[in-house]
Each structure stands twice: as C-alpha cells, then as structure tokens.
C-alpha cells in the first residue's frame, strides 16, 4: 500500500510508533477470486410492544470468530453476531424502542447516524453504555425514507470499535413513497464497504487505527464482511444501498465495464429524480443508493477507481475490486424506475440565514479539540443556516448529527447532480471550501449536545468534533456554554 500519508504524521505528535505492526501480513490475493457468496446482514426481527412500538434488541459482542479469509479465523466484534450488525428496518411514523446491551467488556456507545431524534437518544459520546448495561433509547421516526446506520461513538475509541466490526444499517421506508426495488436481499441489497489489513494468521491488523495522518488505510476490501464476494442477481433492476463504513478511505464506485447506473438517494433520502452516472464518490459515513440494470446471463464487476492523481487526496487514490455480480439465465421482470422519486427539491436558504464558519486544520475545528464540557454552537430550533467549512489542510469530511443539509457549493461550484440530494456527511477535499445549507431539528435540550465532526475516524477520535445544542428560539444567549463536569445521560 502507499505510505505517503505517513509523511504527514508530524501533524499528530508521537504517533509514528503505532505504524510498525505489519511484520507478518497475510499475503493472499487482493480480492480477484470472487469465490465467497456475499453475506447479507439478516433483518432484525422487531418484538411487538403493547403500545405498538417496534422493539429491537442489539447486543454488542466481542470475541466473534469469523471466517473471512479462506481457512483462517478472524477475531471480530459484532452486533447480534460475529461481525457487523443486523439490518433494522422501520417505517416512517413508527415508534422505535431499542435495547442496546454492551457485552464488550469495555465502555462504548451506539449512535444512530442520520437519525432525527432527541439528543439524549442520539448515542453520541455522552450516552455511554457501561459494560453489562443496557441502554434503552426510544423515538418516533419523523423523517423521509433513507438508508441510515449505527455505530459506536465513544470519544477516543470510535475508530477501533468500528474497525473491529461494530456497525449496522437502519433502513427507513415510507409506505407512501415511490415504487422502488425493495425486497431485502433480493432486489434491495446493502453493500457495506470497509477496508482491512490482515495478519498471516487472519487477525485484523489494528496497527494504524490509532495512528498516522488518516489513521487506518487497508489493503483488502470487505463488503458486508465478505472478502472477494460474488452475488447472484435475479431481477432486471437491483437497488444497492452503499455505505462507506471504512475508517478513512474514500471510494469511487462504478463498474469495470463502464456501464451507467442511476443514483436514487443520498445520505438523508431520495433525490427528486434518478441521476444517471458512471461513478459515485463515497467518503466515510456517507450512503448512496443506486439502481443497476442487468441482462440475463451476464457478469459485471463493481469496483472502485482511484481519483485522478493530479487532484487526488491520499485517501482516494487506490483501485479496488468490490463485488462480482452474476446474473441468472432468466431475470425477474422489474417495474421501471419512476421518473419522480418524491425527493424534495433543495430550497435556497432564506435571506438572512445565519452563517457559521468552521476552519478545519489537521485535527481541529476553529482551533479547538473536542471538549465534552464545551458547547461550541447554540442553534435555535428549526433554524435554516449556512455552514461554511474552510479546510486549510489535507482531506477531511464533515458530518452533522440530526440536521440534514444540502451542499451549496464546493470551491464555489455546485456539486455534481447526484450529490444535490439531502445529506448528512460531505467529503471535503484538501484546501477546499464547502458551503452547506442545513435544516436543524426541533428537539429542544440545552443540556444535551449533538455532534458535528470529521468522519475520518482517526480525526474524530483525535478531537475533530464540536458540540451544538438546539434551544428555544430567542433563548440562545441564556444558554450555558459549559456542561457540568462528568455530565452523562444514560
Ligand atoms: Cu457516524 Cu457522529 O457519526
Ligand atoms: Cu451521526
Ligand atoms: Cu478529518
């Protein structure tokens, strides 16, 4: 793998030693074999509650044994299973009740990335779950159909907990939405993309997870925890929900044969209409839903192509193959994709919308490291604001909890059409200026902050995180900017 990024390691003091553990790497094929059937995370079964809520139990487990590489056992973490989690599927309007039990033997949290909900249910670094404890958040799904996900968010250990295998999908359906391929595991398939490195014995190499400029950059790709995967396609149209659950890598996903496909949704929901593309870029934490047409009997390879080296950032320059698709000899007919997907057009931010500026440096935002007791921003409920991200260094990305946004422009230019949908995470190339128009929620709580941060997990752990509270409009100046020490909500 390329080690150029390590030359920048001076930005993080004292981390050079963390990169030395690559003595006996697994030397098997990069991925070209495609000999393993793609694993589809099982759907979580809700337990019905008397009040109609859907209850889900999620057990965070250490000590999983997964056969990821041929003939070798990899020790992993997972949720209700050895590696990754089940897929939770709910409807808009549902009341959802979670029981998250921490069986890891160390403290963690579980954050609902992309979910609109009260801050104390958000699973950020304040909602710690002690070993052996069960955390029971509940909320009502009050947002459009989307592919969201969940993962730990403990300050300082997010990268390691996600890398070991704690992540899963939470799909929101809208019963009044457009007719789209939606039979899970058949024509509606999650593709959770992650990079790893393995030791000769099959162990996950955790060497760079807590080190280097970008943290971990792997040389083997897993999709849904499967190495070298293939998938049998049985219908003409297949919807893939891409999630980049990697620690740092950025992928440019498309097909080796250059075929075009349609983007139907970004992080926070459906586009207005499908957008035809050849590649989509997806940085850590982002989701893109695509629909691909297949013809009977064909094979196609989904891959990731590095960005043009002249403008590539260190985390987006390598090529990988992801998944071989093998179409059956006869494919089930699919209804054509609707012209209108029901996504709401982007509205220009109202005149006089408040602007906030965030200067991104090596691992700081506006010159600050994360401080769990400091409220960085106070936002009136329901506000429409323009957030300007001014990156003065190498690549980052930026995620805002609870507040979906649109990308207004990147270095003054509107984003490509497929990135104009509702989002919650955005890639920020080196030295770029990105402007977002964000819509904030209405769950008022001046004592419980939401996070905004770089989703390159090493940067997040290093402190590239800020906190904001949502307050009753007009009370912004009465709100304390300091949280009581050791203030935790369970
Ligand atoms: Cu996916 Cu604050 O995180
Ligand atoms: Cu999030
Ligand atoms: Cu970053």
Cα 164 off chain centre by: 15
> In this structure, which residue's CA is closest to atom 1 in ligand 1?
113
Residue 267 burial (CB count, 10 A): 27
Q: Which atom of ligand 1 has the smallest separation from the CA of 452?
A: 2
Question: d(Cα 225, Cα 261) in Å, to the nearest integer?
Answer: 24
> 19: helix, coil or strand?
helix
Q: Is 326 in contact with 233 (CB distance < 8 Å)?
A: yes
Enter the tokens of residue 75: 């020790």
Identify which ligand lies nearest to the alpha carbon of 158: 1
pLDDT at 49: 93
pLDDT digits (tens, 9 = 90+) for 90-129: 999 999 999 999 999 999 999 999 999 999 999 999 999 9
Q: Which atom of ligand 1 has the smallest separation from the CA of 113?
A: 1
pLDDT at 23: 62
Q: How far is the CA of 310 from the centre of ligand 3 (A)?
A: 20
Q: Strand pairing partners for 364?
A: none
Question: d(Cα 299, Cα 146) in Å, to the nearest integer?
Answer: 29
CA-based angle 289:317:454, to the nearest 5? 65
Q: How far is the CA of 55 from the centre of ligand 2 (A)?
A: 21
pLDDT at 73: 97
Q: Strand pairing partners for 426?
A: 398
The structure tokens 């398939």 sit at 189
pLDDT at 410: 98
Q: What are the residues whose beta carbon lies below 5 Å from ligand 3 (ion)? A: 396, 454, 456, 459
Q: How far is the CA of 115 from the centre of ligand 2 (A)?
A: 8
Identify which ligand lies nearest to the alpha carbon of 243: 1
How does DSSP assign 116-148, residue by residue? Answer: ---GGGS--TTS-B-TT-EE--EEE--S-SEEE
pLDDT at 309: 83
Q: Which atom of ligand 1 has the smallest separation from the CA of 453?
A: 2
pLDDT at 461: 98
Enter the tokens of residue 249: 């890598």
pLDDT at 354: 98
Q: Which atom of ligand 1 has the smallest separation from the CA of 149?
A: 1
Q: How far is the CA of 439 from the centre of ligand 2 (A)?
A: 15
Q: How far is the CA of 117 from the centre of ligand 2 (A)?
A: 11
> 428: helix, coil or strand?
strand
Enter the tokens of residue 118: 């009260």
Enter the tokens of residue 447: 């004592």
Residue 30 burial (CB count, 10 A): 13
Question: d(Cα 236, Cα 234) in Å, to the nearest integer?
Answer: 7
The structure tokens 């760079």 sit at 208
Give per-residue burial for 339-365: e unless 16+ CB within 10 Å, then b: eebbbeebeebeeeeeebebebbbbbb
Question: d(Cα 143, Cα 122) in Å, to the nearest integer?
Answer: 15
Q: Which atom of ligand 1 has the smallest separation from the CA of 401?
A: 2
Identify which ligand lies nearest to the alpha carbon of 287: 1
Question: d(Cα 141, Cα 210) in Å, to the nearest integer?
Answer: 35
Q: Which atom of ligand 1 has the smallest separation from the CA of 114?
A: 1
Q: How far is the CA of 399 from the centre of ligand 2 (A)?
A: 6
Q: Which atom of ligand 1 has the smallest separation from the CA of 451?
A: 2
In the predicted model, residues of the chain with pLDDT beneath 50 are 1-21
Q: How far is the CA of 113 from the centre of ligand 2 (A)?
A: 4
Q: How far is the CA of 269 from the centre of ligand 2 (A)?
A: 15
The structure tokens 């992080």 sit at 267
Q: Strand pairing partners for 108?
A: 129
Output the CA–CA distances (angstroms, integers) from residue 56 to 99, 115, 204, in the order listed: 6, 16, 29
Strand locations in 133-268 (E): 134-135, 138-140, 146-151, 168-173, 188-196, 220-223, 226-227, 229-235, 237-244, 251-255, 261-266
Question: d(Cα 225, Cα 192) in Å, to the nearest integer?
Answer: 8
Residues in the ligand 1 pocket, defined by CB under 6 Å: 111, 113, 151, 153, 285, 399, 401, 451, 453, 455
> In this structure, which residue's CA is closest to atom 3 in ligand 1?
113
How does DSSP assign 252-280, residue by residue? Answer: EEEETT---EEEEEETTEEEEEEEEESEE
Q: Is 275 in contact with 325 (CB distance < 8 Å)?
A: no
Identify which ligand lies nearest to the alpha carbon of 125: 1
pLDDT digits (tens, 9 = 90+) for 70-90: 999 999 999 999 999 999 999
Q: How far is the CA of 400 from the centre of ligand 1 (A)?
A: 8
Residue 135, φ and ψ in degrees, nearest 5? -105, 135
CA-based angle 419:421:427, to the nearest 5? 40
Sign of CA dihedral 151, 85, 397, 469: negative
Q: Which residues have CB under 8 Å from 235's CB, separation 6+? A: 181, 186, 187, 294, 331, 332, 333, 334
How does DSSP assign 22-82, residue by residue? Answer: -TTB--S-SSTT--EEPP-PPBPPPEE-TTS-EEEEEEEEEEEEE--STT--EEEEEESSS
Identify which ligand lies nearest to the alpha carbon of 423: 2
């Amino acid at each position: 793998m390329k080690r150029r990024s390590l030359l920048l390691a001076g930005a993080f003091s004292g981390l050079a030693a963390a990169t030395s553990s690559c003595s006996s790497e697994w030397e098997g094929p990069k991925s070209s074999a495609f000999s393993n059937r793609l694993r589809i995370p099982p759907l979580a079964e809700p337990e019905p509650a008397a009040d109609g809520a859907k209850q889900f139990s999620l057990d965070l487990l250490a000590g999983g044994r997964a056969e990821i590489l041929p003939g070798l056992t990899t020790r992993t973490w997972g949720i209700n299973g050895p590696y990754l989690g089940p897929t939770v599927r709910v409807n808009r309007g549902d009341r959802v009740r979670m029981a998250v039990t921490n069986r890891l033997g160390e403290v963690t949290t579980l954050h609902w990335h992309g979910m609109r909900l009260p801050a104390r249910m958000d699973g950020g670094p304040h909602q710690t779950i002690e070993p052996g404890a069960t955390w029971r958040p509940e909320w009502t799904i009050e947002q459009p159909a989307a592919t969201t996900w969940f993962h730990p968010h403990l300050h300082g250990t997010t990268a390691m907990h996600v890398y070991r295998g704690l992540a899963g999908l939470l799909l929101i359906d809208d019963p009044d939405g457009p007719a789209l391929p939606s039979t899970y595991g058949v024509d509606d398939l999650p593709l959770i993309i992650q990079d790893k490195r393995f030791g000769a014995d099959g162990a996950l190499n955790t060497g760079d997870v807590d080190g280097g400029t970008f943290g971990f950059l792997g040389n083997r790709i897993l999709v849904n925890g499967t190495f070298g995967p293939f998938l049998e396609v049985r219908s003409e149209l297949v919807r893939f929900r891409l999630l980049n659950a990697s620690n740092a890598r950025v992928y440019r996903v498309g097909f080796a044969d250059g075929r075009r496909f349609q983007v139907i949704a970004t992080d926070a929901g459906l586009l207005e209409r499908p957008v035809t593309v050849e590649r989509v870029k997806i940085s850590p934490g982002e989701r893109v839903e695509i629909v691909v047409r297949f013809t009977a009997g064909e094979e196609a390879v989904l891959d990731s192509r590095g960005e043009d080296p002249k403008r590539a950032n260190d985390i987006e320059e390598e090529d990988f193959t992801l998944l071989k698709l093998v179409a059956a000899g006869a494919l089930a007919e699919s209804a054509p994709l609707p012209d209108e997907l029901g996504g709401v057009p982007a509205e220009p931010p109202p005149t006089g919308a408040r602007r906030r500026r965030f200067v991104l440096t090596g691992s700081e935002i506006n010159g600050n490291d994360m401080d769990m007791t400091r409220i960085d921003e106070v936002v009136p409920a329901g506000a429409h604001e323009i957030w300007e991200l001014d990156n003065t260094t190498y690549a980052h990305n930026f995620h805002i909890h609870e507040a979906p946004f649109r990308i207004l422009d990147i270095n003054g230019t509107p984003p490509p059409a497929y990135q104009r949908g509702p989002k919650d995470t955005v890639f920020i190339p080196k030295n770029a200026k990105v402007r977002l128009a964000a819509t904030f929620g209405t769950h008022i709580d001046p004592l419980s902050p939401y996070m905004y941060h770089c989703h390159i997990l090493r940067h997040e752990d290093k402190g590239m995180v800020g906190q904001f509270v949502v307050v009753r409009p007009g009370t912004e100046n009465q709100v304390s900017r300091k949280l009581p020490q050791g203030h935790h909500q369970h």
